[in-house]
């Protein structure tokens, strides 16, 4: 079974012993700029601070223009304040909290790590970052997930399709609501 946490933990164990780089954990559906990487380093402090940037999530391109290189706007996407998967942290701090929980299936390991840092007394910097984009892709939510994670997956799926305005126009076009 899939475990994002297990895969990321495995990757960190491959880092040379004694080195303490800044780690940037992200998903494969993320695009980022070199300016973002500078902020990742700047907002991370060994032994005391981790950076949890808020990613700009692009809507389904079937409903409007969503090219990441052209900046952010309400028509293109939204700030994904509920996501904690993008993390900048020194390896020593990551190791000190024993890394990611290795839960199976979609979601949760990132929130657990964030909460672990909060409880450990490490300062967390949380801020929207204009250099970090989540690229839209279809999402499948497996019905065999625990109920709370299935509902979370379906909620994420629902809010990432299009803006309220785009969905309203689409509903009017298809006669779901009257004009």
Query: Residue 3 pLDDT more than 80?
Result: yes
Count Cα atoms within 13 angstroms, Cβ side, for 96.
18
Query: Residue 20 pLDDT more than 90?
Result: yes
Neighbours of 105 (CB within 10 A): 18
pLDDT tens profile 130-160? 999 999 888 788 888 888 888 888 888 788 8
Per-residue model confidence (pLDDT) at position 68: 60
Query: Residue 69 pLDDT more than 70?
Result: no
Query: Residue 61 pLDDT more than 90?
Result: no
**Where is average pLDDT lowest: 38-42, 101-105, 112-116, 164-168?**
164-168
Q: Where are the beta strands (DSSP E) in 18-174?
A: 22-25, 30-32, 49-58, 77-79, 87-90, 123-134
Which residue, chain included where needed, has tokens 């990742």? 40
Per-residue model confidence (pLDDT) at position 145: 83
Per-residue model confidence (pLDDT) at position 70: 63
Q: What percent of the chain has pLDDT over 90?
A: 54
pLDDT tens profile 81-131? 888 999 999 999 999 999 998 988 767 889 999 999 999 999 999 999 999
């Amino acid at each position: 079974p899939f475990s994002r946490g297990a895969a990321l933990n495995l990757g960190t164990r491959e880092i040379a012993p004694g080195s303490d780089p800044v780690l940037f954990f992200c998903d494969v559906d993320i695009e980022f700029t070199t300016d973002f990487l500078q902020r990742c380093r700047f907002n991370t402090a060994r032994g005391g601070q981790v950076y949890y940037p808020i990613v700009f999530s692009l809507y389904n391109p079937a409903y409007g223009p969503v090219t990441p290189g052209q900046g952010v706007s309400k028509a293109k996407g939204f700030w994904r304040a509920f996501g904690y998967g993008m993390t900048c942290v020194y390896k020593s701090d990551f190791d000190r909290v024993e890394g990611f929980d290795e839960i199976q299936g979609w979601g949760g390991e990132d929130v657990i790590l964030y909460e672990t840092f909060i409880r450990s007394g490490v300062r967390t910097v949380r801020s929207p970052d204009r250099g970090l984009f989540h690229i839209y892709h279809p999402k499948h939510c497996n019905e065999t997930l625990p109920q709370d994670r299935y509902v979370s997956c379906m909620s994420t799926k629902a809010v990432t399709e299009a803006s309220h305005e785009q969905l309203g126009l689409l509903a009017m076009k298809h006669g779901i609501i009257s004009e």
